[in-house]
Amino acid sequence: MSHPQITRETATIRFAGDSGDGMQLTGSQFTNTTALLGNDLSTFPDFPAEIRAPAGTVAGVSGFQIQFGSRAIHSPGDSCDVLVVMNAAALKANIKHLRTGGIIIANLDGFGKKDLSLARYKAEADPLLEVQTTGYTVVPVDVTKLTRASLVDSGLTVKDIDRCKNMFVLGIVYWLYSRSMDPTIDFLSKKFAKKPDLANANIKALKDGYTYGNATQLFSERYMLEPARIESGTYRNITGNEATVLAITAAGQTSKLPVFLGSYPITPASDILHGLSKMKHFGVTTFQAEDEIAAVTSAIGAAYGGSLALTTSSGPGIALKTEAITLAMMYELPLVIINVQRAGPSTGMPTKTEQADLLQAVYGRAGESPIVVLAAASPADCFDVTYQACQIALEHMIPVMMLSDGYIANGAEPWRFPNSDTLPPIHVSFAKPRKEDDEPFMPYSRNEAFVRPWAIPGTKGLEHRIGGLEKEHGTGNISYDSDNHQIMTTMRENKRNAVADRLPLLQMEEGEPTGDLLVIGWGGTLGSIKQAVMETRALGHKVSQIHLRQLAPFPKNLGEILGGFKNILVPEINSGQLVRLLRDQYHVPAKGFNRVRGIPFTVEELKNAFINEVN
Amino acid sequence: MSHPQITRETATIRFAGDSGDGMQLTGSQFTNTTALLGNDLSTFPDFPAEIRAPAGTVAGVSGFQIQFGSRAIHSPGDSCDVLVVMNAAALKANIKHLRTGGIIIANLDGFGKKDLSLARYKAEADPLLEVQTTGYTVVPVDVTKLTRASLVDSGLTVKDIDRCKNMFVLGIVYWLYSRSMDPTIDFLSKKFAKKPDLANANIKALKDGYTYGNATQLFSERYMLEPARIESGTYRNITGNEATVLAITAAGQTSKLPVFLGSYPITPASDILHGLSKMKHFGVTTFQAEDEIAAVTSAIGAAYGGSLALTTSSGPGIALKTEAITLAMMYELPLVIINVQRAGPSTGMPTKTEQADLLQAVYGRAGESPIVVLAAASPADCFDVTYQACQIALEHMIPVMMLSDGYIANGAEPWRFPNSDTLPPIHVSFAKPRKEDDEPFMPYSRNEAFVRPWAIPGTKGLEHRIGGLEKEHGTGNISYDSDNHQIMTTMRENKRNAVADRLPLLQMEEGEPTGDLLVIGWGGTLGSIKQAVMETRALGHKVSQIHLRQLAPFPKNLGEILGGFKNILVPEINSGQLVRLLRDQYHVPAKGFNRVRGIPFTVEELKNAFINEVN
Amino acid sequence: MEATLTSKDFASDQDVRWCPGCGDYTILKQVQSVMPDLGIPRENIVFVAGIGCSSRFPYYMNTYGMHTIHGRAPAIATGLKISRPDLSIWMITGDGDALSIGGNHIIHALRRNVDMNILLFNNEIYGLTKGQYSPTSRPGSVTKSTPMGSLDHPFNPLSLALGADAGFVARAMDRDPKHLNQMLLRSAQHEGTSFLEIYQNCVVFNDGTFDLYTDKVSRPGSALYLEHEKPMIFGENRDKGVRLDGLRPEVVTLGDGVSQEDLWIHDEHDAVKAYILSRFFAVGNEDGFPRPFGVLFESKRPAYDKQVAAQMAAAKTRHGAPDLDALLKGNETWTVA
Amino acid sequence: MEATLTSKDFASDQDVRWCPGCGDYTILKQVQSVMPDLGIPRENIVFVAGIGCSSRFPYYMNTYGMHTIHGRAPAIATGLKISRPDLSIWMITGDGDALSIGGNHIIHALRRNVDMNILLFNNEIYGLTKGQYSPTSRPGSVTKSTPMGSLDHPFNPLSLALGADAGFVARAMDRDPKHLNQMLLRSAQHEGTSFLEIYQNCVVFNDGTFDLYTDKVSRPGSALYLEHEKPMIFGENRDKGVRLDGLRPEVVTLGDGVSQEDLWIHDEHDAVKAYILSRFFAVGNEDGFPRPFGVLFESKRPAYDKQVAAQMAAAKTRHGAPDLDALLKGNETWTVA
Ligand SMILES: Cc1ncc(C[n+]2csc(CCOP(=O)(O)OP(=O)(O)O)c2C)c(N)n1
Ligand SMILES: Cc1ncc(C[n+]2csc(CCOP(=O)(O)OP(=O)(O)O)c2C)c(N)n1
Ligand code: SF4
Ligand code: SF4
Ligand SMILES: [Mg+2]
Ligand SMILES: [Mg+2]
């Protein structure tokens, strides 16, 4: 039989199941396939907090959401059109994410007595029936039985067969959204190259799922989405942490410097360490230190030696690094600190996202300790911002903190990756050797941008000592002189602020340079704010948007842009941090819109907030 | 012969010599004597950076300045009327502190060839002559020779005799300012009770110095100062660190709690550890930990166990404590963190003063981590503010950071010490034991001030677990729920802000609640700002002053007071920190007056700044 | 009534969140079952842990408990014990928590000899952060952060503890509950810091590292169970032994001329011998020596917290009742009318 | 031309700011005088120190130098050495800097065996902060922070280093420049982390703690100078020796039946014997054993930095020339027209 095929502009699907059900893989396969079909998309993995919470429990549910479409997509979607649940716990944990009237594809075999009790449903409950009565469309499928049937001759153990369940479901969803199975078939053949029987089993499950969707009366219609009219070029999918790894590796190549990462594992930053540990052939050394203090200080040692030196961490680890970051600032050596923010304070909710480390980044050190602070706005943007962080650190001899967050670090989006020779050059020149009768070397002399020379060990005649004690302007010798302390304090501040001179002016993200409301965001909220601004503008409101990647120093024209608006709203996933910096530095009555819930903004809540402001 | 005796309202004397010359002792003796005579006073010790820099060098010079008078004294004086120099290096290092036309009492024997070269004067130079020609009065005294002569029969070694030099000089100065020698004679007899010959020698040197001043033509006149008309009562002298030690001990007594200090030595905070280590009989335990992290975390352990728990440090050490402070904030346990600020950043200038850790105190933690921040305004004020810090921490179950600085920590002033029964009571009640059938215990339930119960181990039926992971409102169980995270984040902030409700409203420090200029200070700058404001007002300007001891939360009526002024100036020994908090929170166009020179403000520079603002 | 407590009374109401099959479960069970034997009221027991899978432990004990921050549990426990010597303190930590970030606090706790029981769950991996190598991982370990194999020479935790002057050093394993139970009891009985390393299997990221010792078949030949004043015997048929000639230990086969009397008689109180035993540490016992389990070393040193209390008592007798007013007044005062 | 360098060439132009009579001066002198013998160009030498009086050291050396932050020098030096194996790294630290706040970094540096020379200036006190006790201060030390005497059991630095698997462990003293000079040379020659403890007198806050060993009169009877493959002899008239019966060392008098052949012959490569020697540690030698000076232990373990370099080389040969564009492209791409 054939089903009517409906064209949609966007669609959102959420795959949810037990940690063991392979939902992340299912999601990423759907993502790749969809990307290859030319849709724009945005994804959001929703991991359980525990490594492997007991199977079948709500705590053990793992989810993956993707929004894709034939127009530009800026967020993974507030709620989904289709929710795939592999067991009762998955339904319980995720029903709140399904839009009213949405479709639930449920694996019936995951709703047995045991499953219900593990999910803390009453024994007599029939959750699927309940949700049906509340206006959702439930599509029950005996996934386990069907997969076992389909693979009965595979010669695999039941355990292995059940591992193919997710491919069967993926097949159904591919059919429903008219996706080709080829990319996944390729992937499976590659992945299981050494185990052809597993490859074949997975592929068969996938195909049988597809056929099943087609053959049955499960669905009254199926959907298709045109390729998106997005910037032409060659794309790949990328997560924020992957993009960060590539940017660091690239900066090492363009600066022709060895790269040194001193790090200590911590969620959600660890993947940067993992990724860079595979880049040895690019001259990248990764050092897993005994703690965060050793991580950052080992990087400082490497910076003195002439490496592009970095350290990566998250909240609790960054706190431990502050004393050393101040030392690097005092040394005036290049150092990149990457903070993949997570929900805090303290251990907080390590697997959840937040952007509450901004004030710590800008102000969180003893004494007057100005450093550069940048923030990435999306997964792909992590590449540009990280690369820029390396460039600034190296060319200005200053620590740069780059803020990412758990949401963009693990989230993925299509990336029009650059060609290596289009990357901005990074100019590093070490101080030249000195002969006996040359002028004495001045390690703390400065150029017009207040930058001191980088003189690395091994350079004849430049032997010098650096330290955390106040230094005499020019010579760098220890000095307790009052006037000198004032001079050096001012120099360090001027040097940080001078970085703004070399950075591009801020452009409007959306809307005109004047209007009724200016929305200012920073970091990983770009997508949802942009979508909300566009939808608010579509309603005819004069709302404009700027998004800050440069938090210290601010872009030179920020004050000017602020001047164009009486009303300024600053949405942040914290209790109000950027808004404080703006009020302090520009004396504007900026308001905050703040949520601290460990999850991204919904486009809906933002839209309502904006409309509120303009009415 | 007799000298005319001139009455002065104030006088400033600076004693300067080699570290080995005992100038600090000389200064503190002059201070005690002067205090006993009923003058108000303020002192400033100026230690060398090195433990014992080579004798005779400028680096080895140790100084002590005291301003005293028959009126209220608020600062140790911008410049001194009399400068005592025991050697050439002392002159070189301190001449800048002498007011034009001032008197130099110089130990001639400290100006030999060797002394000149050690002080890096040219061999042929005659620095005393030079300064004389530039309008200073030089009073040369062969202190060494005279002391040796006076003690020739003492039977002491030359080394011991030379140790009495400072007493000879003190004698001269006592004569010059008409001070009694008795207090110092008492002191010496007590100090050398076991070594009568040393006692007698020092006393004889003192008396002979006094006689020498009287007998000779050295001075054309001598001075006397009436007792000050200051608040009546019984006074003692006290430094900021001493006052801090007493406050902590007192808070332990009034709260009836054992006191636990976890600390790691660091300049200029170490003396608090030293002082408290002598308070064991008051139930004070001091633990010198392996590092600052162990210091603060050991205190957190003690807080969980029911102690009044504290940790003390300075810049670099505070930075290391931030992760743990955030944990204490998340635990909602009482903890007092004392930061005796020093000139930073990094190792900076450990023996110099600064107030550049305010923004770190308020914002320097990962995530939304609100704590209470207080600052002491003078040496004696360290008692009140530290005591209040303990009271707030205990009664509100929250970390309180108390900011002191190297200047008030080591500086001394007269203190009208309280009677123990006038101290504010501290109300601590631990949660009561629970019986099997009682309601379940809710460790994160809250009272009207958002404060949770303090349930200490050993209490039957209250067994509970606390952690740094986000906690469920009420039960305190681990929770990853989005709404709960928002609730708890808000609760923690409300709780911190609710502390303002129990604190007294802010009073004007000087002047009327409206006027042309409001000067706002915080911390150790109170004295010099107050003096400068008074002198500016004396010129007829409408300048008022408030001084903040409460930096987070701010006093409830601060906004109201700010409303009374169009011009607001915020003098700080940093690059502008309080001024940022004010602009952010009260949207006022406050200006900063900032110096970062490692030394206190001079009254002069402040006065000029104020006049500038009102003209 | 404490006497009537059962292991169930020590289980909290929180559901345990370790991976199915994790070695932590059996350790939790043994700790809960040993608690009643201590005869300590539940409210006087505190479990203090750092951060890690293992460090979730306190949430599962129905006693007082602190889940702290990574690596700092020894310092927190030290502060708690010094200020509350009446409490029974159990510190739970992992190989990363204790020996990577927490290494300094551990060695200082050991030298000070604060009276607490440290249980180090060694799974030779970072579990909670999903599988990076730890300071106890074997050289060449391929982990998330070492795709080409780790280069770090690992710590020998027991040698390190002995070098830091630990007063009680022992080893147990998750898969031998009976022995583990005894070791927990011994740790509790020791006054001062007890350092008990427990081999713990991480089924997800480092499955089977300790099979040689935990597998019922290979265990007899690879694990040497130490007993005070008993000869060192092991082997399926208990036919192997360890002999000391001078400083050099050697593995011998009983029978043919070698009798039990010739064997090394274990002496828990001999620091040097304990150190030699701690060096039976070759990966896979490649040097032929069995891996020792049990109490390698115990010595009587005064507990730090007791000394602190004694010093305070001395100060109080010396100064008599505290006089706050005298303190506030100080030595020199003057009065302004 | 390096060959022609003299110790003067290694003195910087900064004036030395230690207290007159401080032991640091003589150590500085020996370090400066040993430098030319290394035949390493001055620009390839880096001195890295923490914070403390001793840690001011780099300012006085006319080489590259880093005065860092308290306790972190081992980690900074590790990062520098891993990224620049061509440099000769000297790490200067004090007993507080190395063993109090820096304890963790030290033991990790030792186990990793990064090729650097650690000189630990042990004066058993915090000098720079004006006299608090340190982790090596003797029990009962009355200091600024312990008016009634310290209660902490001190570290035995050499035992701790051995427990942490240090590859080179030695001891010297400020007042025996000739021997100190040899030890500095030996440290430099060792590949991997060299751990040299130097007894250093703090004239101001802990004067004379080491007189028993440094005083010319008492030294012969109290200090045991170790030499590889030589019998252990000491005493004014070199009439005393150390003998090993089994595991038990004992002090014997030569003559009456005891000859040099009977004595313990020092073997630098025996870890267990080195550990026994490190335990000759009684305050004032009260147990009768002399305090050993010289190289207690040396072993050949691959240096961490060399292994890191080798692994990177292997990766490069495996992957060939790095292709940045291929990396940026990744495996799956699609093109939008
Ligand atoms: C300051 C800080 N750094 C890093 C982390 C991340 N982290 C949590 S647990 C852990 C290591 C866990 O390994 P281990 O101690 O062996 O415990 P296990 O999970 O293996 O039981 C790390 C690196 C953290 N939570 N805090
Ligand atoms: C983070 C930090 N904590 C504390 C200090 C203060 N401090 C400086 S040196 C030192 C200890 C010095 O003792 P040691 O390492 O033995 O060196 P010594 O002065 O005896 O040579 C301390 C506690 C500091 N500078 N930084
Ligand atoms: S990851 Fe390993 S250690 Fe952690 S719970 Fe799972 S099995 Fe246990
Ligand atoms: S205080 Fe002690 S260690 Fe420091 S310089 Fe002076 S004598 Fe040397
Ligand atoms: Mg582990
Ligand atoms: Mg020392």
> A417–D330: do the CB atoms touch at under 8 Å?
yes
Nearest CA in chain A to D327: A246
Question: Rounded to an integer, what distance in angstroms lies between the CA atom of residue C64 and that of residue C48?
Answer: 9
CA torsion C34-C39-C40-C45 (nearest 10°) is: 10
What phi and psi values does residue C171 have, to the nearest 5 degrees?
-135, 140
Helices (H), B270-410: 270-276, 292-305, 315-331, 358-363, 381-396, 406-410
Question: Rounded to an integer, what distance in angstroms lies between the CA atom of residue A31 and that of residue D215?
Answer: 78
SS3 A444: strand
What distances in angstroms separate CA A323 from CA A540, B179, B360, one per listed residue?
50, 49, 12
Nearest to C312 among B285, B327, B465 (CB): B285
Burial A10-46 (b: 16+ CB within 10 A, else e): bbbbbbbbbbbbbbbbbbbbbbbbbbbbbbbbbbbbb
What distances in angstroms separate CA B609 from CA B356, B536, B576, one per listed residue?
20, 10, 15
Mapped to the 3 state alphabet, what secondary structure does D133-201 carry? Answer: CCCCCCCCCCECCECCCCCCCCCCHHHHHHHCCCCEEEEEECCCHHHHHHHHHHHHHCCCCEEEEEECC
Strands C194-199 and C333-336 turn out to be unpaired
Q: Which residues pair with D253 in a beta bridge?
A: D240
Which is nearest to B61 in space by CA: B105, B28, B91?
Answer: B91
Cα C155 to ligand 5 centre (Å): 13
> C107–D107: do the CB atoms touch at under 8 Å?
yes
Residues of C in contact with B307 (CB under 8 A): 83
What are the percentages of helix, strand and coil residues in chain C, rounded to 5? 35, 20, 40
* Strands, E assignment, A205-258: 222-224, 233-239
DSSP string, C146-206: BTT---PPPP-HHHHHHHTT-SEEEEEETT-HHHHHHHHHHHHHSSS-EEEEEE---TTTS
> D145–B53: do the CB atoms touch at under 8 Å?
no
How many residue pairs from chains B and C have C-beta atoms closer than 8 A? Answer: 202
Nearest to C329 among B305, B324, B417 (CB): B417
Cβ contact B141:B104 at 8 Å: no
In angstroms, what separates the C-alpha of C63 from chain B's closest C-alpha?
5
Which is nearest to A390 in space by CA: A334, A348, A438?
Answer: A334
> A365–B369: do the CB atoms touch at under 8 Å?
no
Is the CB of residue B552 less than 8 Å away from at least one CB of chain A?
A: no
DSSP string, D15-72: PP-SPTT-THHHHHHHHHHHHHHHT--GGGEEEEE-SSSGGGGGGGBSSEEEE--TT-
Give just the sign of the alpha carbon dihedral B208, B214, B216, B222: positive
Q: What is the pLDDT of residues C118-162, one digit of tens each?
A: 999 999 999 999 999 999 999 999 999 999 999 999 999 999 999
Nearest to B486 among A348, A580, A597 (CB): A597
Residues of B in contact with A485 (CB under 8 A): 343, 349, 352, 596-598
Question: Rounded to an integer, what distance in angstroms lies between the CA atom of residue A376 and that of residue A527?
Answer: 12
A94 CB-near residues (< 8 Å, 6+ apart): A14, A16, A61, A63, A83, A85
Question: Rounded to an integer, what distance in angstroms lies between the CA atom of residue A363 and that of residue B361?
Answer: 9
Structure-block tokens of residue B300: 């957190």
What distances in angstroms separate CA A531 from CA A409, A411, A534, A599, one per listed residue?
20, 17, 5, 17
> A265–C101: do the CB atoms touch at under 8 Å?
no
> What residue type is assigned to position D149 of the chain?
G
Confidence label for D3 from pLDDT (cuts 50, 70 and 90): low
Atom of ligand 2 nearest to the CA of B347: 25
Which is nearest to A530 in space by CA: A512, A549, A510?
Answer: A510
Amino acid C2: pLDDT: 44
> D145–B286: do the CB atoms touch at under 8 Å?
yes
Residues of C in contact with D272 (CB under 8 A): 247, 272, 275-276, 279
Other CB atoms closer than 10 Å to residue C284's CB: what's the count?
9
Residues of A in contact with C69 (CB under 8 A): 316, 346-347
Residue with tokens 């010599």: B17
Task: Give me the residues near ligand 5 (ion), CB cutoff below 5 Å.
Answer: C 94-95, 123
SS3 B121: coil
Nearest to A230 among D66, D67, D336 (CB): D336
| Contacting A residues, span 579-608, partner chain B, CB-CB under 8 Å | 580-581, 583-584, 587, 589, 595-599
Residues touching ligand 2 (Cβ under 6 Å) are B 264-266, 292, 316-317, 320, 347; D 51-54, 70, 94-97, 121, 123, 125-129, 134
- In this complex, the chains that touch B, judged by 3 or more CB pairs closer than 8 A, are A, C, D
Nearest to A478 among D43, D59, D335 (CB): D59
- Give the residue-averaged pLDDT of B472-484: 96
- In this complex, the chains that touch C, judged by 3 or more CB pairs closer than 8 A, are A, B, D
Tell me, using a 6 A CB cutoff, whether residue D78 lines ligand 4.
no
Structure-block tokens of residue C272: 């040097």
Strands B61-69 and B40-46 turn out to be antiparallel
Other CB atoms closer than 10 Å to residue A451's CB: what's the count?
17
Ligand 4 atom 1 nearest Cα: D127
Is the CB of residue B59 less than 8 Å away from at least one CB of chain D?
A: yes
Question: Rounded to an integer, what distance in angstroms lies between the CA atom of residue B325 and that of residue B343?
Answer: 22
* Strands, E assignment, B463-602: 465-467, 517-522, 543-548, 550-552, 568-572, 591-594
Amino acid A258: pLDDT: 98
- Give the residue-averaged pLDDT of B492-506: 97
Which is nearest to A328 in space by CA: A398, A276, A387, A393?
Answer: A398
DSSP string, B248-281: HHHHHHHHT--EEEEE---TTTHHHHHHHTT-GG
| Contacting B residues, span 35-54, partner chain A, CB-CB under 8 Å | 49
Question: Rounded to an integer, what distance in angstroms lies between the CA atom of residue B253 and that of residue B251?
Answer: 5
Question: Rounded to an integer, what distance in angstroms lies between the CA atom of residue B591 and that of residue B475?
Answer: 47
Residues of B in contact with C335 (CB under 8 A): 232-235
Which residue stretches of chain A have pLDDT < 50? Answer: none
Cα C125 to ligand 3 centre (Å): 9
Strands D45-49 and B5-7 turn out to be unpaired
Is the CB of residue D308 less than 8 Å away from at least one CB of chain C?
A: yes
Q: Residue D3 burial by CB count (10 A; 0-12/13-18/19+): exposed, middle or buried?
A: exposed
Q: What is the pLDDT of residues B569-596, one digit of tens each?
A: 999 999 999 999 999 999 999 999 999 9
Structure-block tokens of residue B160: 């011991």
Nearest CA in chain B to C66: B466
Q: Which residues pair with C295 in a beta bridge?
A: C170
| Contacting B residues, span 306-325, partner chain C, CB-CB under 8 Å | 306-307, 309, 323-324
Is the CB of residue A128 less than 8 Å away from at least one CB of chain D?
A: no
Residue with tokens 């007063």: C167
H/E element, A409: helix A406-410
H/E element, A286: strand A284-288
Cα C21 to ligand 3 centre (Å): 8
Nearest to B302 among C51, C63, C79 (CB): C79
Strands B10-18 and B61-69 turn out to be antiparallel
Question: C interface mutation test: which of A261, A271, A285, A291 has the most C CBs within 10 A?
Answer: A291
Amino acid C1: pLDDT: 42
Structure-block tokens of residue A105: 């594809």
Confidence check: pLDDT of B1 > 70: no
- Here the ipTM equals 0.96
Residues of A in contact with D45 (CB under 8 A): 457
Cβ contact D206:B53 at 8 Å: no
H/E element, B16: strand B10-18
Amino acid C3: pLDDT: 52
Ligand that comes closest to the CA of residue C203: 3
What is the Cα D248 distance to its own chain's centre?
A: 27
Nearest to D147 among B52, B277, B292 (CB): B277
> B54–D15: do the CB atoms touch at under 8 Å?
yes
Question: Rounded to an integer, what distance in angstroms lies between the CA atom of residue A13 and that of residue A32?
Answer: 14
| Contacting A residues, span 451-490, partner chain D, CB-CB under 8 Å | 457-469, 477-478
Per-residue tens of pLDDT for chain C, all 337 residues: 445 899 999 999 998 989 989 999 999 999 999 999 999 999 999 999 999 999 999 999 999 999 999 999 999 999 999 999 999 999 999 999 999 999 999 999 999 999 999 999 999 999 999 999 999 999 999 999 999 999 999 999 999 999 999 999 999 999 999 999 999 999 999 999 999 999 999 999 999 999 999 999 999 999 999 999 999 999 999 999 999 988 899 999 999 889 999 999 999 999 999 999 999 999 999 999 999 999 999 999 999 999 999 999 999 999 999 999 999 999 888 888 7
- In this complex, the chains that touch A, judged by 3 or more CB pairs closer than 8 A, are B, C, D
* Strands, E assignment, B163-232: 222-224
Angle between helices D73-83 and A292-305 (to 10 degrees): 50
Cα B159 to ligand 4 centre (Å): 21
Amino acid C203: pLDDT: 95
Residues of A in contact with C15 (CB under 8 A): 54, 57, 59
Residue with tokens 């990435």: A376
Out of B320-329, B455-464, D14-23, least confident range: D14-23
Q: What is the pLDDT of residues A40-87, one digit of tens each?
A: 999 999 888 777 778 899 989 999 999 999 999 999 999 999 999 999
In angstroms, what separates the C-alpha of B294 from chain D's closest C-alpha?
9
Question: Rounded to an integer, what distance in angstroms lies between the CA atom of residue A530 and that of residue A71?
Answer: 14
B252 CB-near residues (< 8 Å, 6+ apart): B258, B259, B282, B283, B284, B308
Which is nearest to B429 in space by CA: B456, B450, B448?
Answer: B456
* Strands, E assignment, A110-174: 137-141
Nearest CA in chain B to A320: B320
Residue with tokens 């299509």: A414
